[in-house]
Amino acid sequence: MKKKIRIIKVLILVIIILLAGFTYYYSHSIAPEGYEIQESTITNDSLPEEFNNFKIGFISDINLEDSSDIERLGEIVASLNDQNVDMVIFGGDLFQSSAFETEKVISTLSNINSKFGKFAVLGEKDLTIATDVTAILNEGGFEVLHNEYRPIYYKNASISLFGLESNGDISGLLNDNNKDSYKLAVVHEPDYFTTTAKSAIALQLSGHTMGGYIRLPIIGGLFTKTNGSTYVSGRHTIDDSELIISNGLGMENGYEYRLFCPNQINIVTLKK
């Protein structure tokens, strides 16, 4: 009997070791390279009827570091194009640090298809090389919004797009043309949602946090950042305003793993 118990204990220990080994391998070698299509539907009464079912492709935190990342970005672009979206938005942090192989990056970004525009905001890494990143995004077909407002026209109706950098205050961008419109705010850091919601935005799109890298039930994302600690991943609501946080599409130095927190291409469908 004692021998059987000893064998069972050894088997349990072996299983635990194997599971731990697989988890480590998966989180460091498999999950960081993969990505999923994360679909969301946002319903808000302020949306013009003409924009019902308008589809937005949202990508963020690509964090390019070497040539293989650019090749992988090409695969991501092909997957995004398969979604046949109406508009594409980039939420910031194109490079891990300095810009490199810019012509290849521009060519890859240029391959992104969008019927009604490609827009971008800068993340905290981008801001350290803002001139370079802005030029690359512009040449790749993106309009970079630096605390700016743009009307988005579709089927004789319009909604308001606000692209923000390191703040959530859109009050200075409101005017008679947009103050009562459907408001879509894009800001890299999600914690600015507490501010944008005060201006009755319908939706904020953010990245920055990488979803917390490791996401556990109830607990959520384990790792937080400055301006990404109150809201770390998923969807959140304040009154009639909603926030969607992308897990991003790349890794960062010192955090080159993922578990239950996959890279994402976010597809957001607007509903009336």
Higher pLDDT, 140 or 14: 140
pLDDT tens for residues 185-229?
999 999 999 999 999 999 999 999 999 998 888 888 888 999 999
Q: Residue 188 belongs to a domain with what CATH number?
A: 3.60.21.10
Q: Are residues 95 and 15 in the same domain?
A: no
Higher pLDDT, 9 or 235: 235
Averaged over 230-254, what is the pLDDT? 95
Whole-number pLDDT of residue 220: 82
Return the number of other C-beta atoms located less than 10 Å from residue 241's C-beta.
21
Whole-number pLDDT of residue 255: 76
Q: Are residues 92 and 8 in the same domain?
A: no
Name the band, by pLDDT with cuts 50, 70 and 90, for residue 26: low
Q: Are residues 40 and 55 in the same domain?
A: yes
Quick one: DSSP state of residue 189? S
Tokens of 217: 């039930």
Parallel/antiparallel/unpaired status of strands 148-154 and 157-164:
antiparallel
Helix (H, G, I), strand (E, B) or coil at 78: helix
Q: Are residues 26 and 85 in the same domain?
A: no
Structural domain span for residue 15: 1-30
Q: How many CA atoms lie within 13 A of 102 on its CB side?
A: 12
Quick one: DSSP state of residue 248? -
Whole-number pLDDT of residue 20: 67
Q: Are residues 9 and 51 in the same domain?
A: no
Q: With beta carbons less than 8 A apart as the criterion, state whether 268 and 42 touch.
A: yes
Count of structural domains within the chain: 2
Of 195, 183, 147, 142, which is closest to residue 45 (Cα–Cα)? 183
Parallel/antiparallel/unpaired status of strands 215-216 and 203-206:
unpaired
Question: Residue 254: enclosing H or E segment and its boundaries?
Answer: none
Name the band, by pLDDT with cuts 50, 70 and 90, for residue 271: very high
Whole-number pLDDT of residue 19: 72
Q: Are residues 176 and 48 in the same domain?
A: yes
Whole-number pLDDT of residue 53: 97
Q: Are residues 26 and 138 in the same domain?
A: no
> For the chain, what percent of residues have pLDDT higher than 70?
91
pLDDT tens for residues 102-137?
999 999 999 999 999 999 999 999 999 999 999 999
Whole-number pLDDT of residue 30: 67
Helices (H), the chain: 2-25, 67-82, 102-110, 124-127, 130-139, 193-196
Mean pLDDT, all residues of the chain = 92
Phi-psi region of 3 (alpha: psi -120 to 50; beta: other; left: phi over 0): alpha
